[in-house]
Amino acid sequence: MTNRRARSRSLCAVAGGAALLLALSACSSSDHGKSSSASPSTSATATGAGGSPAKVSGTVVVFAAASLQETFTTLGKDFQKAYPGTKVVFSFGGSDQLAASITGGAPADVFAAASPKTMKTVTDAGDGAGTPSTFVRNELEIATLPGNPKHIASLKDLTAPGLKVALCAKTVPCGAAAQTALTASHLKLTPVSYEQDVKSALTKVELKEVDAAVVYRTDVDTAGGKVQGVNFPEAAQAINAYPIDQVKNAPNPAGAQAFIALVKSAEGQKVLSGAGFLKP
């Protein structure tokens, strides 16, 4: 059993590619480990139509899996500091619901999903601008009440009579991963509730409405002392890859490219790995 706390990281990003040229000013962490901002004079360009420079400006709308809420919020703030005048607006939720919104015409610049399957929903509909790339991976963990009063030590323990367990809905990446782990263990589990995203499942534990929930390790970390984490070996067979892509009809394509580059940059990866995400 382990408790983890997400660690805040300083952030500066320098990323480039054939379709994108970023120039972010250097930044350094403070003595207290707070995220630092880029210089107000920072400027950056992205490749526009015909290869001409396109300045990164305006609002960037990012649809992202609920488990990315803390880290992406941090990245969004630093993005705004690096590109004065920009604004990053997030919509966090279950990846399947976000994918449905995008294919239904909801305006978005970037989609970061918690599984390739949910990203495929967008790309199959022709709503992806390019080839999605995996930027992190995540592993499941059991979240229990602090002190683990029910003495849960394994995935099998969740099937004990009378134990109240919450799972993510099977259509949500964290729920699909939980089902994969249960199947690999030849276990059947009927939860008291299926939640629409991982944060909702975790909240059930925090509010003491259930004894445990199968969530991501990163969510246990960010919850701090509100829950206690229990590792289980079957989680290694159900690791989720997180893909990211620009939405085809992105209102702000230059901003989308810049945000994706930030997420995939070395410093962006430090923020993510510091929160417990695994390398892509």
**Residue 57 annotated in ligand binding:** no
The distance from CA 55 to its chain's CA centroid, rounded to whole angstroms, is 27
Check the annotation: does 198 bind a ligand: yes
* 37 marked among binding-site residues: no
CA separation for the pair 238, 178 (Å, rounded): 7
Nearest to 173 by CA among 193, 199, 144: 199
How far apart are the C-alpha atoms of 202 and 215, rounded to whole Å?
7
Residue 95 marked in a binding site: yes
Alpha carbon of residue 168 to chain centroid: 15
Exposure string of 51-83, with b = 16+ CB inside 10 Å and e = fewer, is: eeebebbeebbbbbbbbbbbbbebbbebbbbbb
Annotated binding site: 67, 95, 198, 216
- Which residue ranges make up the annotated binding site for molybdate? 67, 95, 198, 216
